[in-house]
Structure 1
């Protein structure tokens, strides 16, 4: 699955500095927020907001016609909700890493996917859940064979693929723009893998980075 995920060349033409770390986690054990997850959320909520990284995402949104003051990049929306809300252990884990590194991260139920994930420039005809609405032509969006899974790059995820306490196999999407370095992207992925392993000692994790250079 992870080897089939792709980013269309049109995305790199829009933002040559874009890179995404893809991570699959098979055999996760999820559950309600506990004291361990609360500590992760509290530590992340105490971090200073790195506005230059958020500004880079706002610029990327404007480049394809989105209005980031109305449809905010996911990490911008998260940092405006501090202290971080409790969702469930796995979502708490990736939200804490997202805020710590000021890095958009999506968590997806891998078993809900039909075909591989791919990041596209939309035509506007892609099937989409009613809660998401139809993508605009030229919009950056994630999709699978069934339709859109996340609109406006990382603004809003659909219900079909969201992580729940019943999720067993997950896909995590860590999206980077400069000034974040590729090294920091890798570090964020390693930290997320550590938290997932703490939650689920038997989890099997694989990762891959896609960028304009590969």
Structure 2
């Protein structure tokens, strides 16, 4: 699966420094937030990057480059570092949120069994379906033309690069196979990106010691 993931050249043209560390994790046994994952979040909150950190500001600049307003729809890492204490979701989501706020990089977590086809980062045509819940009911939204989105064969899986995930592919307590997308812009280094990936896998191994993992760096020469 992860060997087929790609970034469209139209996205790379916006930020040639963009890279995504893709991590496939197989055999997870997830569960509700517990004392262990709660401690990860608490420790990360103490060491979280500031909202005005250059690594976070790089994402706000990038949102403006494709027409988004980062004050209204914030990059995921920007929203997280402004929300303390961090939200408690489940053990796996808690793990990647803790790494995100420690390193100042957006991390997406996706349920691989919910994917249809290959994940790719593209600029939207505007007619792609985006599955949401509105007033407690399933609904379909659409991205704006030219918006940067992650998608698969069925539709958009995350809007505005990393702003909002669709309900279909989100990680739940039943997730066993997951895809993690650690997204980098300068000044965050490739070395720190890889370190963050190793730290994430370490936490996931604490959740499920026998997981199988694979890594791939996409979009950076």
Query: Segments of 4+ in structure 1 off by > 3 A?
Result: none
Give the Cα separation in 1 of the matches to 2:127 and 2:181.
24
In 1, distance between residues paired with 2:220 and 2:193?
15
* 2:67 paired residue number: 65
Deviation of 1:142 after TM superposition, in Å, equals 0.3
Q: What per-residue deviation string (whole Å, max 9, x for no partner) do you get for residues 105-153 of structure 1?
A: 0100000000010000111121222447211111100000000000000
Aligned-partner Cα distance in 1 for 2:149–2:73:
13
Q: Is the 8 A contact 2:109 2:179 kept in 1?
A: yes
Which residue matches 1:149?
A: 157
Match of 1:122 in 2: 124
Q: Measure the CA separation in 1 of the matches of 2:188 and 2:131.
A: 32
Task: Tell me the equivalent position of 2:137.
Answer: none
For residues 102-121 of structure 1, the aligned pairs below 5 Å read: 102-121=104-123
Give distance in 1, aligned partners of 2:37 and 2:200. Answer: 12
Q: TM-score, normalised by structure 2?
A: 0.94
Deviates more, 1:14-23 or 1:119-128: 119-128
**Match of 2:17?**
17
Q: Distance in 2 between matches of 1:25 and 1:8?
A: 24
Separation in structure 1 between the aligned mates of residue 62 and residue 113 of structure 2, nearest angstrom: 30
Find the counterpart in structure 1 of residue 91 from structure 2: 89
Q: TM (normalized to structure 1)?
A: 0.97
Structure 1, unpaired ranges of 5+: none
Instruction: Give unpaired runs (5+ residues) of structure 2.
Output: 134-139
User: Post-superposition shift, 1:212?
Assistant: 3.6
What is the RMSD computed on CA atoms of the aligned residues? Answer: 1.0
Q: Call closer, same or farther: CA 1:104–1:65 in 2, change over 3 Å.
A: same
Name the residue aligned to 2:218: 210
The answer as to whether partners of 1:12 and 1:212 remain within 8 angstroms in 2 is no
